[in-house]
């Protein structure tokens, strides 16, 4: 799997972000499942091995489907969520 991730990163272009893909790990960052700003194929392959180790340390027995390779972008990040609040009505939440 690490070699496939490295190949995907080369196809996308560097730098990239690498994320673990697992249905058993909902919060990837908290499980050590995300690495930012990888600048070459060797760094991606090394990071992939480390992601698997971190994921299994945080969630023993978790099934790992592979990796998500994404273009690294910079800028502002925002979180937006909505929920039905029962008697209070709809709720919209935002954060930076």
Residue 78: what pLDDT?
Answer: 82
Whether 84 shows a pLDDT value over 80: the answer reads yes
The number of beta carbons lying within 10 Å of the beta carbon of residue 2 is 19
Using the structure block, give the residue that is written with the tokens 């799997």. Answer: 1
Phi, psi of 66 (to 5 degrees): 150, -145
Q: Where is 61: in which H helix or E strand?
A: none
Alpha-carbon span 68 to 70, nearest angstrom: 6
Alpha-carbon span 58 to 33, nearest angstrom: 9
User: Does residue 78 or residue 17 have the better pLDDT?
Assistant: 17
Residue 83: what pLDDT?
Answer: 86
Confidence of residue 20 (pLDDT cuts 50, 70, 90): very high
Could you tell me the pTM of the whole model?
0.78
């Amino acid at each position: 799997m690490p070699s496939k991730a490295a190949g995907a990163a080369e196809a996308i272009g560097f730098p990239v972000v690498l994320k673990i893909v697992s249905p058993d790990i909902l919060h990837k960052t908290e499980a050590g499942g995300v690495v930012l700003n990888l600048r070459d194929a060797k760094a991606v392959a090394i990071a992939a091995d480390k992601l698997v180790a971190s994921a299994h340390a945080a969630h023993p027995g978790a099934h790992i489907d592979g990796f998500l390779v994404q273009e690294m972008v910079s800028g502002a990040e925002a979180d937006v969520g909505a929920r039905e609040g029962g008697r209070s009505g709809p709720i919209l939440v935002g954060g930076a």
